[in-house]
Amino acid sequence: MSRTPLALVLAALIAPVAAAQEEEPVRELAAAHANFACDLYRTLASPSSDDIFFSPHSISAALEMTWAGARGDTAAEMARALSIGALGDRVHGANGALAAELARRERPADPEQGGEPFRLRVSNALWGQAGYEFRPDFLELLSSRYGAVLRILDFQADTEAARKTINAEISKATEEKIPELLLPPDVTRDVRLVLTNAIYFKASWNEPFREAATENGPFTLLDGSKVEVPIMRRTDWYPSFQEDGFQAIEIPYVGEEIAMTIFVPAAGKLGEFERGLTGERLSGLLARLADEGHQVALGLPRFEVRSRFALKDALLALGMKKAFVFGEADFSGMNGNHELYVGGVIHEAFVKVDEKGTEAAAATAVMMRAGGVPPRPIALTIDRPFVYLVRDRGTGAVLFMGRVVDPR
């Protein structure tokens, strides 16, 4: 048996995808993605003391396209790691329906919101080795449910040209925010397939912060030292609550269908909060935010984060093991034999938050070888490390997730 790697690449960009309009378990899929997001977040956060930012939506989509070709124990391990075991094959239809729903969030520029359009786009593609045969049913499934069309490259004859072609498409899909997802060592002559998912998001706050109100203020780092950073300020009604150990607030974007949710643990409690952040816990916190709100004098630091991860170790820790082992991996649903395996998973993400709103992009690469009187406002100045996510309120989809420990 030849040793053939299959490369799967995912970049994150949210674009319309053709999908059947029948009823699909979209919210069940979004809940599964939220479970996976929290599991992956804890795995990435525990050994790190840096800022973190990633797109669970992008990573899930890429790995679920990969899972479509997995069989036997390989498929079972991936399903458990991705929290999609209960959904089974309904995952693919639900992904198509979710993509169609998210595509409807796009809207043209609104002069009252500063003339900026609301952009939420996702795109998928397959990049296959010239002359290599893939199962027609696998290609049809990814085309019909994920909008991923096979494009032919020659990794064997010109690896660098293939890498640059894929990177150029991802850069275009993410408005040049992810210009070089794949580095030269990531793409080798034995790559047979690269799956790409790209996500791009740019939106204004529903009620922007006034730049004139921004002023420098102290931010306490993990080691207890303080730094001066620009703090944006606005007093408004926000979904929010406070309980022992942390505060929570949700800031909607224009249209109010998508929002940034922020959890601010008490000083010295970030690690404790992160360790307890499961999908079930997150669901309960979000449900409480939907029911509770206050007038808040909010202080939010401006920040910009770029993260790059080789996700193999994190996925191994979540139980996705056979997929990475030649001779044990079973991706026969892709090509009819057992020569393909996952050589690595690369993910890069970028976010910028300022007075106007948020711009974010991400890319993942799975390298497979082979009423009344207003009350007094509650003061919430986010002046210490915090956890945040960008989510679609209607479907519950967690598009991006991260933490800020140093907003400089």
Residue-wise pLDDT for 221-231, tens only, equals 999 999 999 99
Output b/e per residue, 372-396; b: 16+ Cβ within 10 A: eeeeeebebbbbbbbbbbbbbbebb
Q: For the domain that residue 257 is a member of, what is the CATH number?
A: 2.30.39.10
Q: How far is CA 194 from the centre of its chain?
A: 19
**Separation of alpha carbons 402 and 362, rounded Å:** 12
Is 2 part of a structural domain of the chain?
no
Please tell me whether residues 143 and 281 are part of one structural domain.
no
| pLDDT (tens digit per residue) in 258-289 | 999 999 999 999 999 999 999 999 999 999 99
Please tell me whether residues 232 and 168 are part of one structural domain.
no
What the block records as the tokens of 348 is: 């890069």
Better pLDDT: 363 or 23: 363
Mean pLDDT to the nearest integer, 108-135: 81
Please tell me whether residues 273 and 144 are part of one structural domain.
no
The residues that bridge with 247 in the sheet, in sequence order, are 242, 264
Nearest to 35 by CA among 358, 404, 401, 408: 401
One-letter amino acid of 92: H
Per-residue confidence (pLDDT) for residue 48, from 0 to 100: 81
Q: How far is CA 237 from the centre of its chain?
A: 28
Question: Binning pLDDT at 50, 70 and 90, where does residue 369 land?
Answer: confident
Is 275 part of a structural domain of the chain?
yes
Q: Quick check: 17 pLDDT over 80?
A: no
H or E segment and range at residue 399? strand 398-404
Q: Quick check: 80 pLDDT over 60?
A: yes
What the block records as the tokens of 399 is: 């598009």
Per-residue confidence (pLDDT) for residue 46, from 0 to 100: 86
Per-residue confidence (pLDDT) for residue 385, from 0 to 100: 97
Is 3 part of a structural domain of the chain?
no
Q: Is the CB of residue 268 less than 8 Å from the CB of residue 279?
A: no
For the chain, report the end-to-end CA distance as a whole number of angstroms: 52
Helix axes 279-291, 26-45, angle to 10 degrees: 120
Q: How many domains does the chain have?
A: 2
pTM of the model: 0.90
Please tell me whether residues 89 and 235 are part of one structural domain.
no
Is 66 part of a structural domain of the chain?
yes
Question: Binning pLDDT at 50, 70 and 90, where does residue 375 land?
Answer: low
Please tell me whether residues 104 and 248 are part of one structural domain.
no
What the block records as the tokens of 333 is: 């649903």
Range of the domain at 312: 8-204+304-369
Strand residue runs (E) in 205-302: 215-220, 226-243, 246-252, 258-265, 293-301
Please tell me the number of Cα atoms within 13 Å of 94 on its side-chain side: 21
